[in-house]
Structure 1
Amino acid sequence: MPSQRHPPDGLAEKLAHELHVHQIELESQNEELRRTKSDLSAARDRYQDLFDFAPVGYFTLDRDGVIQECNLTGAILLGEHRTALKGCSLSRFVAPADGDRWHLFTRQVLGADGPHRIELALLRAGSQDAWHGQIDCQQMALPGQEPTLWVTLTDVTARVLADFDQRVAALDADARELERHRVALALHEDLGQRLSALKMELVSLAPCEKSEVYRERLGGLLTSLDDAVSTVRRITQDLRPPMLNDLGLAAAIEWLVHDTARRVDLSFTLSLDAVAPDMGEQTRLALYRFVQQAVALLVFDAGSIELHIGTHCAPGRFVLVLRSRWQCKAKPGTTPLEPEAARILEHRARAMGGRLVIDLPRDPLVWIHLELVMPLAKPQDTDAEHGDTR
C-alpha cells in the first residue's frame, strides 16, 4: 500500500491563515455591499417620495401624447387614479376650446429641441369645471428607444384669475377715468359757461333804483356766482386737470399743492425737475393720481402742517419724494398714517411698476418720508400701460 504524502506543518498553517484573511475580506466586502444596497434603497425611496409628492405633476408621454408614467400630484391634478391614467391620452383632460392648441403644441415639441411652455384650460375626471394649468414640455430621445415627452403640470388657476381681475380692474379704472373726463368737460362747457353767462347778465342790469338794498342784493348774487364758478373750476380740476396733458406732470402737481394749501393752513416747498419725464399718458395720469391721494392722506388724515414734494428724472427711472411734518393728533408712540393707507399707496406704486419706501416716525418733530422709484419704459411702451388711475 503506497504511503500518503502530507504537506509540511508550516505550509498548512500558512494556507489556513491566508484562507482566514480572505474570509475576513469577503465578509467586509459583503457588509459593504449590504450597506451600499441599503443606502441605494433609502435613496430610491427618498427620490420616489420626491417624485410622487412634488408640488407639480410629472408625466412621461409617448409621441401620441399617451401617458406612460405620472406621479401622485399629477394624478390628483387630473382627478384620476394613477393606474387608470397609464395608457390614457392627456388630450382627454384638455378643455375642448384648447384641444387644437394642445395638438399643435405637441407637434412643435416633437419638431424642435429645448423646453416649451403652454397654458391650457383643463378638466378633471368626472367634472366640467375648467381649471388652468401650465405645461412645460421637452422631448427626450434615448438611444434605441422611441422619443418621449417629459411634462410638468402646474396649477396656475389662481394666477390666471388674478391676472384677469387685474385686467378687469385696469379696464374699470380706464372707464372711470373717461367718466371723470366726461363729467369735467360737462361741468366746464355747460355749467361753468351758464354761470358765467348769468353773471354777465346780472352785471349788465343797470340798477333802476339807487336803493342800497338793491345794490347789496346784487352784490351778494355776484359774490355767490363767483364762488359757484370757483367751485365748478376746482371740481373740474380735481376730476381731470387739463394742464396734466397741456403743461405736464410738474405743472399739475404744482397746481394741486397750491390749491390744497389755499384750502387748509399748509406751508409747502416744491422741488420739481424741469426736465419732463419720458412717459406715456397713462403713466403720467397714474403718477398724478398717486400724488393726489398721497397729499390727501398726508394733509387731511395725518394732519400735516408742512409739506415738501420733489421729483427727479434720471436715465431710465423717475423718483418722487414726499416729506411731511405732522401735528401730534394720534396717541403718543403711534404713527400718523394708518397702516391701511400705507398699503394703499404701496399697491398703487406696484400697479405702476414702481417701488415705494415709507418711513413713518413716531415723533411729530420728525418728517414722514415717502419715496417712489419707478422705472421708465420707452414712450411706445408706456402708452399701452394700464396703471391704477383711480
Structure 2
Amino acid sequence: MIIPTIHILLIEDNEADAILVESDLQQAMGEQMTVTHVERLSSAIELIHKKSFDLILSDLTLPDSDGITTIKQLREHAVSTPIAVLSFRDDEKLAIKAIKAGAQDYLVKGSLTEGVLARVIRYSIERQRIEESNRRAQKRFQTIFEKSPLGIALVNLHTGRYYDVNPKYASIVGRRVDELIDISHADIIHPDDLQSYHDDIESFLNSGRVDCKIEKRILHQDISVFWIKISIVRFEAIASNEICYLCMIEDITERKQMIENLHQLAAHLQDIREEERTRIGREIHDVLGGTLTVLKMDLDWLSKKITAEPMHERIKLLYQLTGEAIETARRVSVNLRPNVLDNLGLLGAIEWLVRELEQRTKIDCTLESTISNLSCHNKSYETAIFRIIQEVFINITRHSNATEVDVELVEDEDDFVITIKDNGVGITKLQILNPQSFGIISMNERTQQFGGEFEISGIASQGSVVMLRIPLALVTCAEEAIDG
C-alpha cells in the first residue's frame, strides 16, 4: 500500500531552531514527509493560498507577527489545516489561549523528541480529518434542513419552545423563523384542537415511544385555517442541556379537503340510493303488491266457482304461488325501504331487525338495552344506522355460522354505543383490512356520514364483535332498562 506523503509548512524565523526541528521531523517521519520552511507570516500566508499542507508548525513570535495573533491569522487563511504551535515558553495559560485561537497542539521547543513529533503530526492530521468530516456532515445536514420540502423544527416538547426552525416549517405555519423562536409550539395550534393536542403530546411523552404522528389544524396570523400532519421523533441532540424532539410537519389541507369531498360525495350517493330504494320499494309495495293482492283475490273467487278437477287444483296452486309472491314483494319492499323506521322509530326498528334475524335464521338472539326511546335529529342518520346493523346481520347470516347473537344498546359519557357479538367462526384481521371487503367499507362510510366510530374485531372460532359509537349530540335517548 502506498503511504501518502505528508506536507508540512514550518514557520520559524530562528535558523538554528528551524534546522533542529527539520532534523527531528526527518528522523520521526523519514521519506513520508516534505517540509517547506518560511521565516515570516506573510510568506506563509502567500504559500497557503498557492498549495495545500497537511500540517502547519508555527512559532508564535515572528518578524511580522507576535503571540496569539499569529494563530488567529493563520486560522483565518488556513481554515481546515491543523496548526501546531512551536514555542520556547512552557506556559499552560498561553497554550490554552493558542488552542482556543484555533491551534490543535502546543509544543515546547526544548522538549521535542522524535516520538513526540511523530505522534503530534499523526494526531493533529487525524483530528483535523475527523473535524473536517464532521463539518461536511454538519453542512450536509444543514443543507437538507434548509432545503427540505418538509417543515422541520427542533422543539422541547416539555416546554414547547423552538430551538431551530427551517424555512419550509415557517412557510407552512405562516410565520417568520424569528417569530417562531419566540413562541411556543402549541401557539400555532387552532384553539379547537388545542386540548386534544396537549393530550396527544402528554400521551406520547409518557408512553416511551420513539415517534408519533398526529393531525391538527393550525391558525395562520391572517386567521386562515390549515390542516397539518405532525410527525414527532425523539432526538438525541442537546440544546441548552435539554433534550430536543424533531418535529416534521406537512400541509395536508388539500388532502383533507379531498377526503371531505369524497365523504360528502359518498353521503350524497347514499342519499340518492336511499331515495331510489324508497321509490322502488313504494312501487313494489303499492303497484306490484296491490296487483298481486287483486290477483290472489280473483284466484280465490275462481277456486270457489270452479270445483272440477284438475282445474281446481291448478287454481289452488296459482293461489299459493301468488301468496308467496306477495310475501316476497313485501320482504323486498321492506329491505329496500325500512318503513319500520317510520312506524316504530329507531329503537323499535333495531328490535325488529333482531327479531327478524332470529325468525329467519333460527339463531338465538338477545337484545339488552338501557334505554326505552331512541331517535336521531337527522332522519338520514337513522337510516344509516339501520343499514349498518342490517349489513352486520347479513354478514353474520352469510359468513359466521353463529348460533348466538347478542345485541347491546348503552349510553356512555359521550356516545350511544351499539355492540353486536356472535359466537361464529370469527373475522380475521386480513379480512377486515381486505380492500375487497365492500360491506365493511360501506359500514365505515355510513358511520363517517354522521361522525361516529365503527370497530370490528374477531378471534378465530370464538366469534366477532362489532361496535358502533354514535355521538350523543346526534341522538335523543330516554333511559329505562329493558331486556328482550
- Superposition pairs for residues 128-139 of structure 1, below 5 Å? none
Contact map agreement 1:306 1:325 (CA 8 A) in 2? yes
Pick from 342, 364, 370 the counterpart of residue 245 of structure 1.
Answer: 342
Pick from 417, 423, 427 the counterpart of residue 319 of structure 1.
Answer: 417
Contact map agreement 1:353 1:375 (CA 8 A) in 2? yes
- State the partner residue of 1:116: 223
Contact map agreement 2:425 2:463 (CA 8 A) in 1? no
User: How big is each residue's C-alpha offset from its partner over 1:242-300, in whole Å with a ceiling of 9 and x where there is no partner?
Assistant: 12133112222232233333333422222244433352212211111111111111111
- State the partner residue of 1:368: 464
- Superposition pairs for residues 54-73 of structure 1, below 5 Å? 54-56=149-151
Gaps of 5+ in 2: 1-87, 105-127, 154-165, 172-219, 229-248, 477-484
Structure 1 distance, partners of 2:146, 2:294, is 79
User: How big is each residue's C-alpha offset from its partner over 1:153-206, in whole Å with a ceiling of 9 and x where there is no partner?
Assistant: 946544433332222222111111110011111111111111122222333447
Contact map agreement 1:326 1:336 (CA 8 A) in 2? no
Letter of the 2:360 partner, please give it: R
- Superposition pairs for residues 161-310 of structure 1, below 5 Å? 161-205=258-302, 207-279=304-376, 280-310=378-408
Contact map agreement 1:311 1:320 (CA 8 A) in 2? yes
User: How big is each residue's C-alpha offset from its partner over 1:189-246, in whole Å with a ceiling of 9 and x where there is no partner?
Assistant: 1111111222223334473454253443332222222111111110111011112133
Structure 1 distance, partners of 2:455, 2:370, is 20
Letter of the 2:146 partner, please give it: F
Structure 1 distance, partners of 2:353, 2:151, is 51
| Cα RMSD, aligned residues only | 4.3
Structure 2 distance, partners of 1:282, 1:303, is 32
Structure 2 distance, partners of 1:312, 1:353, is 18
Amino-acid identity (%): 21
- The structure whose RCO (Cα within 8 Å, separation 6+) is larger is 1
Quote how far apart the aligned CAs of 1:306 are.
Answer: 2.1
User: Would the alpha carbon gap of residues 325 and 154 (structure 1) be closer, same or farther in structure 2, given more than 3 Å must change?
Assistant: closer
TM-score scaled by structure 1? 0.58
SS at match of 1:251: helix
- State the partner residue of 1:24: 95
Quote how far apart the aligned CAs of 1:362 are.
Answer: 1.5
User: Would the alpha carbon gap of residues 307 and 189 (structure 1) be closer, same or farther in structure 2, given more than 3 Å must change?
Assistant: same
Quote how far apart the aligned CAs of 1:302 are.
Answer: 2.1
User: How big is each residue's C-alpha offset from its partner over 1:121-177, in whole Å with a ceiling of 9 and x where there is no partner?
Assistant: xxxxxxxxxxxx99xxxxxxxxxxxxxxxxx99465444333322222221111111
> Hey, which of these two has a bigger chunk of strand by percent?
2
SS at match of 1:259: helix
- State the partner residue of 2:431: 338
Structure 2 distance, partners of 1:196, 1:314, is 47
Quote how far apart the aligned CAs of 1:346 are.
Answer: 4.7
Answer with 249-258 or 183-192: which moved more. Answer: 249-258
Structure 1 distance, partners of 2:300, 2:421, is 46
- State the partner residue of 1:65: none
Answer with 270-279 or 188-197: which moved more. Answer: 270-279
- Superposition pairs for residues 27-106 of structure 1, below 5 Å? 27-31=98-102, 46-56=141-151
- State the partner residue of 2:232: none
SS at match of 2:313: helix
Contact map agreement 2:263 2:445 (CA 8 A) in 1? no
Letter of the 1:374 partner, please give it: I
Contact map agreement 2:347 2:374 (CA 8 A) in 1? no
SS at match of 1:326: coil
SS at match of 1:353: coil
Structure 2 distance, partners of 1:26, 1:201, is 118
Contact map agreement 1:349 1:355 (CA 8 A) in 2? yes
User: Would the alpha carbon gap of residues 154 and 209 (structure 1) be closer, same or farther in structure 2, given more than 3 Å must change?
Assistant: closer
User: Would the alpha carbon gap of residues 212 and 74 (structure 1) be closer, same or farther in structure 2, given more than 3 Å must change?
Assistant: same
Contact map agreement 1:250 1:272 (CA 8 A) in 2? no
- Superposition pairs for residues 345-384 of structure 1, below 5 Å? 345-346=443-444, 348-363=446-461, 366-378=462-474
SS at match of 1:23: helix
Contact map agreement 2:151 2:168 (CA 8 A) in 1? no
SS at match of 1:277: strand
Gaps of 5+ in 1: 1-16, 59-69, 76-112, 120-132, 135-151, 329-333, 381-390
Structure 1 distance, partners of 2:251, 2:262, is 20
